[in-house]
Chains A and B, each alone.
Chain A
Amino acid sequence: MNELEDYFRDEANEIVEGLTRDLLALERNPSDMAILARCMRLAHTLKGAARVVRQTRIGEMAHTIEDALAPFRDGEDAITSDYVSDLLRILERIREETTKLGATIAPAPASEDKGKGTRESKPASPPVDDRLETVRVDIADMDALLEGLSEASIQIGPLNGGFGALQHALRLAVLLREELELGQAVGDRGRGSRLGAQIAEITQSLVHAERDIGAALGRIERELGEVQSRAATLRLLPVGAILGTLELTTRDTAEALGKNVSFSARGGEVRLEGHVLSAVRDALLHVIRNAVDHGIESFEERIGWGKPEVGRIHLDIERRGRMVAFRCSDDGRGIDVAAVRQAAVRRGLAKGEEELDEEATLALVFRSGLTTAAEVTEISGRGVGLDVVREVANRLRGSVRLSSKLGEGTTIEIEVPVSLSSIPVLSVMFGGSTALVPLDAVRGTRRVTASERLQGPGGERILFGDRAVPFTPLGAVLAPASEGHDLPEACSAVIVQSGEAWIALGVDRLLGTMDVVLRPLPPGAGAPAAVAGAAFDAQGDPLLVLDPPALARTGARREAATSTRREAPKRLPILVIDDSLTTRMLEQSILESAGYEVDLSASAEEGLRKAKARKYGLFIVDVEMPGMDGFEFTATTRADPALRDVPVIIVTSLATSKDRDKGAAAGASAYIVKGEFDQKHFVRKVAELLGAAS
């Protein structure tokens, strides 16, 4: 609790200062509704924060200020100077309370008794243990430290160069001694041995220097790298640091309202800058208080609806490229869109209920002054809370979305951009450059040979598990203007997923994983779609960090372009029957890339059932399958008047002329041997037969 109280004291002091300033400004401009709204929000925030640390007196006083300001919100009556003075007096009381709060934490000094009794009483000092374990550091100081560290690391570069020169000198000394030894046989023996001894001494000293400097240099480099990365993460806080406060708020709010609510969270390890995190925490406190108060039903009501007795609030924290999303869901009653609509009309936010659709109505929940709570409670219900959420999101250049299902619950998602954050990445090399792919979006990596890159009208694809994933060389994404994105015959592919979209990035090689501090691109760099930001390497040079959602969209766009083409001619679908998953996927990928609709069957029996249920333009069938084989399937369909006109292509590994004859006898229109499989020929044959059939 001490930590929380410390936070609260700092926060309360800031709010009291802000409120004092704003109340004085309001006194000068009584009609400025923006200042009034800000005062109400500050009082509301203080009320909530005070509740978390159980400072009910402060909470009540903040509530009084909020209450006292509410009547002026309509702008009909202007606030008077006397009124403001009264509020300032309440603020003064709050200030006294928070000061007392600081003093009460401090224990009486234990050494007091040992004194001579002449010591004057001093104000109680903060608890020594707490103060010694944490320090508050100005971010500017932290940045100066990081700059210094980065500069020190850069200096290792020339040192390495000097070390290389030393090694070279050593090699030369060794060569010189060998030369001299050879020359001794013919030359001046006495002079030669003197020189030899001197060179031996130089060599010896160079050997020492090389060993000592080399070892120390390696150690310094490693240590400096470690210090640098630790210092960089010092600037960041794990989201987990605010989860305790959120949980406590849930419990306290529920307790105050006689409800039973549980709080859970996932993703607490995501790290963010302190100022972003504290702003998001304030917003989430309001979201949670609203959820407990308006969302979660009373115990009896929940039983009546057949819901679990304990209401549930869950917070999901997820990194999405350059954004971090906080999704807070409850399993309460949801938002009654009709009630919000009525409230909006009542408050004059809309002329008639008909002009508000569901989305527009839900968006109104974030408007100041709109509440649907039947009665205003101490917890929330003034229509202020969600307004604060929107303001925080705007301030951080983020966004806020709300979705709700009546009777099932509400989800509020706050998405904020990351200014600095520490993330694990996969480092990859392409065309002599290095780039970093956020590891949380990487679904896997695999070696790919040129023949495994399947060419289609929508571009290349590779197989990853049972999925044909669009493939693109990373060079084509990161340097689209330059030419020559050729990959080696065998390259590596990094398979990236974001939502429903997938893409495989071709790279020369994988360099490994590491944690880096992701920085936003600097001013003047624009907003290139595929880049989430940059990180520094050990030499202080930037490395681009890729943006998985944007990359995956590139793949999806290609898919969309393909599917647009696919829709153009109205052709009958193709049924592919093969017991091998890989073959099915391969054929599906080729055919879909060529614009055909494809259905799949893993056996001839299943294929027959499908063939009877839907009209196909072509069957592509394997021969060797468990149960009915491909020849039998062909013969069976030829015997069926409804299916006999649908052409069959046999694709098999059976390559003898006897097998070919058997295929022809069964009634197949074409016979393709897997070992001789040629994609272009296959697509041509399909087009030919399908053209004839439709």
Chain B
Amino acid sequence: MNVRSQERDTSGDGAPLPVPAIAAERHVAELRRAFDASFAAPPRDADRSGELVLAIQAGGQGYAIRLSDIDGVHECRKVVPLPEGPPGLLGITGIRGRLFSVHALGSLLGLPTWNEKPRWLLIAGGDEPIAIGVASIEACLEVSPADLVPVDSAQEGDAHIREIVTVAGQARGVLVLESLVARALQRAGERREGAS
């Protein structure tokens, strides 16, 4: 909604200038209507059907992540290792004055070759955010919901993949960040097993 333009429209309707009090009342009513209407209207991009996904590499494997699942993407700068911790906990880092624990995505996925230096950090986890290190980000793509094919995770043998998306002819698992964050917290001894 544009309040300013609404204001101009109401004053320029050619009607004789009313008594100030009435004019003010009408003006307020118009504004209120416009304000309410702006909420009732569908979001501008609601008709856009695509879902944005990041194509990434971790532990030598290609995966995809829904962009809406991530709170931020940052270049990986200095990571300070901690004296104790589970495998895959690379240490802590500072991003915009906040501390984050850094976990290697490959390790969280149980891949054997996770020990690569992360170039990017994906922030996820809502109230208890962590940084997940990935080796590379290959692309950010818009895919249609029909291209996201649900999979039975039990059959796939990987609890962190619920969908498959085909990017440039290659099928990739779409990672569920919520369960990866839960695994990281559980490994760090901050959450009970099975809780997510």
Q: Which residues of A contact B (CB under 8 A)?
A: 143, 146-147, 149-151, 433, 477-480, 519, 521-531, 534, 536, 539-544
B12 within 8 A of A: no
B49-86 CB mask vs A (1 if < 8 Å, else 0) is: 00000000000000000000000000001101111111
Chain A residues with CB under 8 Å of B190's CB are 523-524, 526
B103 within 8 A of A: yes
* Shortest beta-carbon distance from A208 to chain B in Å: 33
* Shortest beta-carbon distance from B116 to chain A in Å: 18
Name the CB-closest residue of A to B78: A541
Q: Which residues of B contact A (CB under 8 A)?
A: 77-78, 80-86, 89, 92-94, 96-101, 103, 125, 128-130, 181, 184-185, 188-190
State the CA gap A523–B132 with chains docked (Å): 12
State the CA gap A79–B194 with chains docked (Å): 42
A523 touches B128 (CB 8 A): yes
A526 touches B97 (CB 8 A): no
A540 touches B80 (CB 8 A): no
9 A-B pairs within 8 Å (CB atoms) are namely A143-B97, A478-B83, A480-B83, A523-B101, A523-B128, A524-B103, A525-B82, A526-B86, A528-B82
Chain A residues with CB under 8 Å of B83's CB are 477-480, 528-531
State the CA gap A149–B185 with chains docked (Å): 29
* Shortest beta-carbon distance from A529 to chain B in Å: 7
Chain A residues with CB under 8 Å of B96's CB are 147, 150-151, 540
- Quick one: given A523-B130, A524-B89, A525-B92, are A544 and B184 in contact (CB under 8 Å)? no
Residue in A531, A541, A543 whose CB lies within 8 Å of B82: A531
B82 touches A526 (CB 8 A): yes
B92 touches A542 (CB 8 A): yes
Residue in B86, B92, B125, B188 whose CB lies within 8 Å of A534: B92
- Quick one: given A150-B96, A540-B97, A542-B94, are A523 and B80 in contact (CB under 8 Å)? no
- Quick one: given A522-B92, A530-B83, are A146 and B184 in contact (CB under 8 Å)? no
Q: Which 6 A-B pairs have the closest CB atoms?
A: A150-B97, A524-B101, A523-B128, A526-B188, A525-B101, A524-B130
State the CA gap A149–B96 with chains docked (Å): 9
**Further contacts, 9 of them, CB under 8 A, given A524-B184, A525-B85, A542-B78:** A519-B99, A522-B100, A524-B128, A525-B99, A526-B89, A528-B83, A534-B80, A542-B80, A542-B92
Chain B residues with CB under 8 Å of A433's CB are 80
Residue in B80, B97, B100 whose CB lies within 8 Å of A147: B97
A149 touches B128 (CB 8 A): no
State the CA gap A548–B130 with chains docked (Å): 27
- Quick one: given A534-B92, A542-B80, A542-B93, are A522 and B85 in contact (CB under 8 Å)? no
* Shortest beta-carbon distance from A142 to chain B in Å: 11
State the CA gap A528–B125 with chains docked (Å): 21
B103 touches A542 (CB 8 A): no
Chain A residues with CB under 8 Å of B94's CB are 150, 536, 540-542
State the CA gap A149–B94 with chains docked (Å): 13
* Shortest beta-carbon distance from B79 to chain A in Å: 9
Chain A residues with CB under 8 Å of B77's CB are 541
* Shortest beta-carbon distance from A536 to chain B in Å: 6
* Shortest beta-carbon distance from A335 to chain B in Å: 38
A149 touches B82 (CB 8 A): no
Chain B residues with CB under 8 Å of A149's CB are 97
Chain A residues with CB under 8 Å of B130's CB are 522-524
Chain A residues with CB under 8 Å of B189's CB are 526-527
A544 touches B82 (CB 8 A): yes
Chain A residues with CB under 8 Å of B185's CB are 523-524
* Shortest beta-carbon distance from B11 to chain A in Å: 31
State the CA gap A545–B123 with chains docked (Å): 24
Chain A residues with CB under 8 Å of B89's CB are 524-526
**Which of A521, A522, A527 has the largest number of chain B CB atoms within 10 A?**
A522
A521 touches B101 (CB 8 A): yes
Chain A residues with CB under 8 Å of B98's CB are 147, 522
